[in-house]
Amino acid sequence: MNIHQINLNQLKGFETPFYYYDLDLLNETLSKAKSAADKRGFHVHYALKANFNDRILGLIQEKGFAADCVSGNEVQKSIEAGFSASQITFAGVGKSDKEIVLALKHQIFAFNVESIQELLVINELAKENGVKAQVSLRINPNVDAHTHHYITTGLDENKFGVPNSELEKAAAVLRGCEHLELLGLHFHVGSQITDINVFKSLCVKVNEWKNWFEERGTAIKVLNVGGGLGVDYYEPDAHPFADFEAYFEVFDKFLERTAQQEVHFELGRALVAQSGSLVSKVLYTKSGVKKNFLILDAGMTELMRPALYQAYHKIEKLGTSENDKSLNYDVVGPICESSDCFGKEVSLPESERGDFIAIRTAGAYGEVMASRYNLREEIRYVYSDQI
């Protein structure tokens, strides 16, 4: 059920703030993404980091997605949620020995390896544990994702991936590592990418690097092009789905590959963002000297994106009528930080204590990034089929 279809009296039964998850929308999003990928023979790993809420993860697993993890706990969680270990990728620049051993014991599909030193450590730990690890080399393609600098990952100045200048050495090291098997190459240029040309540029780089390895006699079975597909934070109801068709089509068209070479994706945000809203109540209204403030019972502790990345989220009053007079508000939370602000000069129908406010497109990197700062309560969530 869309957040606007909910009867406010029903909402009153739940303590705010909470994440509201529209499971119908999630289902539809997953179906669209899966069929667009399936018809091109593509494999999609869901990036757990975007949201690992149990029901959400369960639905994603049931739909047949694989998993992409960035910690030992995510690997463990995805296995508990029913993902098969042979569908799990494990990325990250700082995998600890404990995390590597856990993933080795489960015999996951692939470690996305980010440095030569990491290759050597995984090889050593695989040897100690009497197993062979499948690895993909993460290459930094130096493609500008044209997104917020905090979520750009594929530029030379970012910490991710094996620097291009070291690839020759990495290939040699791999040849000497008996407990590693090179599956393929891994790339990820950033997140919330809305310019489809960025993915075209990525394809060009992937083709170049694949050829580079093949020319040196290294077989590449898997091309993992990461995630990053963006969503519309401004008009979530007009554009509830990312354009999965256009996205996968770019790779289908521009990625050079043989019939045996698999193409893998790691989508997070585009699969879950629009299905979640943070629902909050107005605690106080305040007219400052220059500003009107709406003080909510949700803050940066529940949704950190505006404070951390100056991210825009659409803010709406629930249950408004056409005739309400509008005012400009700074919509803020209760946390003792000036950055605890969801939006400045937001035009909203005049609001009062007790009104419900929804902060939209919060299904990705919302609940998972919540914190207990100020000893806030544990995050709450409500699923659409509970209402």
Q: In the complex, which residues of this chain contact ligand LLP (CB under 6 A)?
A: 47, 50, 68, 91, 151, 153, 188, 191-192, 226-229, 266-270, 305, 309, 365
Minimum Å gap between C-beta 379 and ligand LLP is: 15
- Distance CA(237)–CA(355), nearest Å, equals 21
CB nearer to ligand LLP: give 180 or 273. 273
Minimum Å gap between C-beta 326 and ligand LLP is: 29
CB nearer to ligand LLP: give 267 or 348. 267
Max Cα-Cα span within the chain: 73
DSSP SS3 for 33: helix
CB nearer to ligand LLP: give 194 or 285. 194
- Distance CA(160)–CA(333), nearest Å, equals 34
CB nearer to ligand LLP: give 11 or 100. 100
Rg of the chain (C-alpha set): 22
- The continuous run of DSSP H or E covering 349 comes out as strand 341-349
Minimum Å gap between C-beta 135 and ligand LLP is: 14
Minimum Å gap between C-beta 273 and ligand LLP is: 8
Q: Are 238 and 277 within 8 A, CB to CB?
A: no
Tell me the backbone φ, ψ of residue 348, rounded to 5 degrees. -140, 155
Q: Are 75 and 99 within 8 A, CB to CB?
A: yes
CB nearer to ligand LLP: give 229 or 282. 229
Strand partners, 329: 346
CB nearer to ligand LLP: give 11 or 56. 56
Q: Are 104 and 125 within 8 A, CB to CB?
A: yes
CB nearer to ligand LLP: give 145 or 331. 145
CB nearer to ligand LLP: give 330 or 367. 367
For residue 347, give Cα distances in angstroms to 314, 329, 357.
11, 6, 13
Cis peptide, bond prior to residue 236, ω within 30 of zero: no
Minimum Å gap between C-beta 136 and ligand LLP is: 11
Minimum Å gap between C-beta 337 and ligand LLP is: 18
Question: Token pair of 37, please?
Answer: 């990928």
Are β-strands 356-359 and 276-287 bridged in parallel, bridged antiparallel, or unpaired?
antiparallel
Minimum Å gap between C-beta 181 and ligand LLP is: 21
Minimum Å gap between C-beta 243 and ligand LLP is: 14
Listing DSSP states for 74-143 in one string gives HHHHHHHTT--GGGEEE--TT--HHHHHHHHHHT-SEEEE--HHHHHHHHHHHHHTT--EEEEEEB----
To 5 degrees, how large is the angle CA 16–CA 21–CA 24? Answer: 145
